Amino acid sequence: MNIIVCGSLVPDPLQTLEPIAGPTGPALKNEMMLPSWLDPWAGHALYEAANLAAKTPGTKVYLVSLGPKAKLQQVMMTVAQKVPFELVALDGPAGGFTDAAETAAALAAAIQSIPGLNLAETLVFGGWESASRGAGATMQIVGEILGVTEQFQGVDSLEVQPDGSLKIMERVEGGKHQISVCSGAPAVLGWATGSLPEPRNNPQVGMANMRGIMPSLQKAKPAPVTTGDIAFASVSLPKQTRDTKIVKDTPPEDIAAEIVAWIKG
Amino acid sequence: MNLLLLHTESDGGLAKSSLEALSATIALGGPFAVGIVGESTQAAADAIATCGAARFLTVTGPDYGQARYATDAAAAEALARSAGAEIITAPATSRWNRVLPGVAHRLGGKADTHITGLTISEGKPAATRWFYRQRMEAVFTRTSRPWLLALEGGIAPAWSGAAGTAATEAVTPAASPRTQVTGFAAPSSDQQTIRPDADLLFVTGAGWTKKQPDGEVKTAEAETIILDFLRITRSSLGSTKSLVDLGGEGVAVLPFLSHMNQVGQTGSTPRHPKGLSTCCHGEEPHTVGWRFIGERRAISLDANCGWSRGKADVLYVADAFAVMRKVNELLA
């Protein structure tokens, strides 16, 4: 079995983000200067993939990642130390305003170009949405292009059963999980958080990964994804500032009474 | 013609989010059809028979009672082709969010999810949604058709018209699913802490697990106070990432918290009329969890806390343990 993880880069969430008008559409101010991370949900997908591969002999994990080559190299220095994988790099914009369909087409083409990949024995993982575009659309389109119609979104748990079927738990409304059983690969799984903590850095894994990552980055195909047919009328920061009333030096009893009145009001 | 996609609930009826999407679709103007997917669909169609839809298309059967990609995508595709729709709306339920982008690909169109506003600008629909996890908001339109839009809850008032008898047209999609939905997993009702319809979101921060002024960590008491408050008020429980992560790393903190409770940059952004945060600390990445909360109050020992200053209407600079103990006493 093979597991393909689609995952891109997002700005460090602690950075201040400011939209600007770029030559081809909206962009972030100083976008290339912002430190980047592996998208958090894609990260969960990668860690779950590695965990499953470790329990399933003969399973190989690929990370298909679209982003500016220099940024990818920076992020992979960290990600490579987490779990074993082979990188398939695509050199292109990873910003949130690019079109999900164009991104999906580029990712699907990269997956189809992996030598010797048997799609019938492949699971395609990714985040259920990105922390940049936040569309929750890319993985479904990747699946459609690849002809995979068993798809799951908001996945928190995957269990390969003895008969090869997949028991999957997806987030649904009301804090519940829907439990499904799929007969087996191929399938697309858009992960939520899963249940695994972030793996500790392992320098040996990092060294092994980097031997493949650097050549992959060098031969990364260009993927000039754009905003597609989207015409942005405006992109703005939310005006959220409220005139906060500060209540200090007040006994807990009085505060509690005020809060209770507010809750009941 | 526009098309509104709906699915029935387990009781055969329509959810509030479906009725809100109906109102938003009517507000677009022009003729529209309603496509309903479910194990049985007539009752749902009858419930909105007087909404003004030009057609009621249905995909009905046991296979379509399950929320499953293969069958739902086939149903939506068949309904869209039958209606010949250019603008296709649907409530942003987990069921429609799962399939709409794939359906758009099949139809040669485009899909956008998490739509929080939908208007007509210069004769064309213009959608509003958030980017970078609710940190910036964009208004945009597309030229591709069909354009599929998953509408978030609260986008419009729920439609409330008279029921009637809808003349439905059955549509038969083709799908061969390899997946069976076998059930649902949820905490028992007295342990369920996520309540989307609650009036109040109660947000807990990592401060509940820190040393208190007497130098002691009082996790057990924190658990009692929080769960008592939730039990009395039937509030929904949210948490900051740091507190949830502590539990995920094996640290004994508040055992009832999971990633499902997490709000903010990498969690959910729930919608409730009121929100009360306690012991929360952080800056913008966390406060996005507040974004869709109406009235907001906070209890924190830090008067400059990013969760509160400029984000809450009222900040009580106080010990949350002491205040919430009294709150529970008053509410009991």
- Give this complex's ipTM: 0.94
Q: What is the pLDDT of residue B190?
A: 67
> Are B165 and B206 found together in one domain?
no
Partners of residue B287 in chain A, C-beta under 8 Å: 240
Partners of residue B248 in chain A, C-beta under 8 Å: 195, 197
A135:B184 CB<8 A? no
The residue among B153, B170, B187 that closes a domain is: B170
The residue among B122, B149, B170 that closes a domain is: B170
Q: What angle do CA B257, B261, B264 make, to 5 degrees?
A: 130
CB B122 within 8 A of CB B162: no
Q: Give residue-wise pLDDT tens across range A70-79.
A: 999 999 999 9
Partners of residue A245 in chain B, C-beta under 8 Å: 313-315
Domain total in chain B: 2
Please give the average per-residue pLDDT across A228-243, as a whole number.
88
Please give the average per-residue pLDDT across A128-157, as a whole number.
96
B315:A41 CB<8 A? no
Sequence-ordered list of residues with C-beta below 8 angstroms from that of B58, at least 6 positions apart, any chain: B35, B36, B37, B38, B41, B42, B45, B168, B169, B170, B171
Chain B residue nearest residue A26, CA to CA? B138
CATH number of domain containing A23: 3.40.50.620
**pLDDT for residue A3 is more than 90:** yes
CATH number of domain containing B85: 3.40.50.620
Q: Which parts of chain B have pLDDT scores under 70?
A: 189-190, 247-252, 265-266, 282-289, 307
Domain total in chain A: 1
> Are B9 and B149 found together in one domain?
yes
Note whether A192 contacts B: Cβ–Cβ < 8 A. yes
> Are B133 and B267 found together in one domain?
no
Note whether A245 contacts B: Cβ–Cβ < 8 A. yes
Q: What is the pLDDT of residue B159?
A: 98
- In angstroms, rounded to a whole number, what is the distance separating the alpha carbons of residues A125 and B94? 18
Tokens of A92: 């292109």
Please give the average per-residue pLDDT across A94-113, as a whole number.
97
Q: Identify whether B128 is part of a domain.
A: yes
Q: What is the pLDDT of residue A195?
A: 86
Those of residues 205-224 in A touching chain B at CB distance below 8 A are: none
Report the residue of A149, A249, A254, A260 to disrupt the B interface, i.e. the one with the largest count of B CBs within 10 Å: A149
Residue type, A228: G
Please give the average per-residue pLDDT across A8-35, as a whole number.
90
Q: Identify whether A239 is part of a domain.
A: no
| Length of chain A (residues) | 265
Please give the average per-residue pLDDT across A175-181, as a whole number.
94
**How many contiguous H segments (helices) and E segments (strands) does chain A have?**
6, 15
> Are B161 and B20 found together in one domain?
yes
Q: What is the pLDDT of residue B218?
A: 87
> Are B85 and B204 found together in one domain?
no
Q: Identify whether A253 is part of a domain.
A: no
Tokens of B158: 């729920």
**Phi, then psi, of B72 in degrees rounded to 5:** -65, -40
According to DSSP H, which parts of chain A are helical? 40-55, 69-79, 100-112, 138-146, 203-218, 252-264
> Are B48 and B160 found together in one domain?
yes
Tokens of B208: 């509940």
- In angstroms, rounded to a whole number, what is the distance separating the alpha carbons of residues B314 and A253? 16
**Minimal CA–CA distance to B57: which of B73, B76, B70, B31?**
B76
- In angstroms, rounded to a whole number, what is the distance separating the alpha carbons of residues A155 and A51? 15
Q: Identify whether B254 is part of a domain.
A: yes
Say what the pTM is: 0.90
**pLDDT for residue A63 is more than 90:** yes
Sequence-ordered list of residues with C-beta below 8 angstroms from that of B219, at least 6 positions apart, any chain: B208, B209, B252, B253, B254
CB B159 within 8 A of CB B48: yes
> Are B11 and B142 found together in one domain?
yes
- Domain holding B22, by residue range, is 2-170
CATH number of domain containing B251: 3.40.50.1220
Q: What is the pLDDT of residue A14?
A: 78
- In angstroms, rounded to a whole number, what is the distance separating the alpha carbons of residues A202 and B40? 54
Partners of residue B322 in chain A, C-beta under 8 Å: 252
Please give the average per-residue pLDDT across A160-170, as a whole number.
96
Partners of residue A8 in chain B, C-beta under 8 Å: none
Residue type, B88: I
Distance from CA of A36 to the nearest CA of B (A): 13
Positive/negative CA dihedral, B33, B21, B192, B134: positive
Q: Identify whether B151 is part of a domain.
A: yes
Strands (E), B248-291: 272-278
Distance from CA of B53 to the nearest CA of A (A): 27
Q: Beta-carbon neighbour count of residue A257 at 10 Å?
A: 14
Partners of residue A132 in chain B, C-beta under 8 Å: 131-132
